[in-house]
Amino acid sequence: MLVQLAEFLGAGLVLYAYGHARAGSAGVVDARYLGANLAGAVILAVVATVGHQWGFVLLNGAWIGITAEIAWRRWCSRRSARV
């Protein structure tokens, strides 16, 4: 039961981010998009790891890496703009 709730939460966060990006209310470098996307992917990766679902671990691990790279570039560009 708890695992299913975590799955729904993770999937909901990823879908929330995707929906806002598609609707134009959040860009793919928007902090809300990146945060929801990253949190959802981490939750789903943990659930997949516990369940030994290695394909989903790979998928969400890649999703985490892609999102983290975008967040890192956004953070670095904002930081350099302030200097």
Domain spans, the chain: 2-82
- C-alpha distance across the termini of the chain, in Å: 49
pLDDT one-digit tens code per residue, 17-61: 888 888 887 666 778 889 999 999 999 999 999 999 999 999 999
How many angstroms separate the CA atoms of 78 and 20, rounded?
22
**How far lies 49's CA from each of 20, 23, 69, 80, in Å?**
28, 32, 22, 37
pLDDT at 28: 67
